[in-house]
Amino acid sequence: MKILITGGAGYIGSHVVKALGQLGYDITVFDNLSTGHREAVTYGDLVVGDLSDKAKLDELFKTRKFEAVLHFAGSIVVPDSVSDPLGYYLNNTVNSHFLLSLCQKYGVNQFIFSSTAAVYGMPGDGVCREDSPLAPINPYGQSKLMTEHMLKDLSFASNFRYVALRYFNVSGADPEGRIGQSFPKATHLIKVASETACGKREKMDIFGTDYATPDGTCVRDYIHVTDLADAHVKALEYLAKGGKSEVLNCGYGHGFSVKEVIARVKEITGVSFTVVEGPRRPGDPASLTAKADRIQQVIGWKPKYDDLNVIIKSAYEWEKKRPF
């Protein structure tokens, strides 16, 4: 199968490229390398370009005759979306609209979308189900939800089929050590804690200790990036077999607080680094965990790395390999 992977040089995209490449898929990666890395593309052909370059992307669709698209390219930092909402709507929504228009133009009817738990906003009990109310509290979540709406409407109007995977907190690194999270100025908790344990940061911050959670810090559902990559493989296989359009949560169904994660990082690494408690960041809900049984029922996904210690250890081992 000939597939296009946008954002395939980034953190999650590169792990999916590796998983699909090992299975023999014919892969074209399209990435502007603004946050991705050329060396992270371990399979397929890397084409450097931006989703806003309509002529270049149109030519790629015309010549390579893709059968499916996996769409990872986009902006992902919640606080940045609050300060630059129009930039997020442009990159995450407008560019997705153009990508979908090319799928329609060239008859590409299988599509996997990198969505987010941020579409749920602030669920009352902190647990997100696929049919929970959708009420994003930041432009990042809203920009992703707008694309979900486009997917749903296009699917209704044609034979286009998609799987939108709503990610929870993706962490860890390739167990083989080939790739990992190299996002500049990362805000992901386990990544930041690992950098601090390695001495790449003098300290790390906790943003808010007064949330309505057991220890006052935010609670999140952490999923190993390799398990998430496998979910994309299963989703692609599902669509190839004629599966109908679906929206599925990608998480483990249980959460850990910021303080719990930091304590675990210190324990695993043996490093007692400095942690500074500060005020809340804009756009952060108190608790987000997945109700994650549907993804296992619908596409047969079975996680292999549902262990916070394993996630942290892989992230730390990757961080130790990266230059300061």
Find the catalytic residue in 11, 140, 162, 238: 140
Helices 308-321, 189-197: axis angle to 10 degrees equals 50
Beta strands (DSSP E) in the chain are 2-6, 26-31, 45-48, 68-71, 110-116, 127-128, 161-167, 169-171, 203-207, 219-220, 222-224, 246-250, 256-257, 274-278, 287-290
d(CA 118, CA 172): 20
Positive or negative, the CA dihedral 30, 33, 35, 38 is: positive
CB distance 315 to 239 below 8 Å:
no
Chain centre distance of CA 19: 15
Burial class (CB in 10 A: 0-12, 13-18, 19+), 229: buried
- CA-CA distance, 166 to 295, in Å (whole number)? 10
Instruction: Assess whether 140 carries a catalytic annotation.
Output: yes
CB neighbours of residue 211 within 10 Å? 19
With beta carbons less than 8 A apart as the criterion, state whether 183 and 225 touch.
no
Q: Which of 280, 290, 288 is nearest to 121 (CA)?
A: 288
Active site residues per annotation: 140
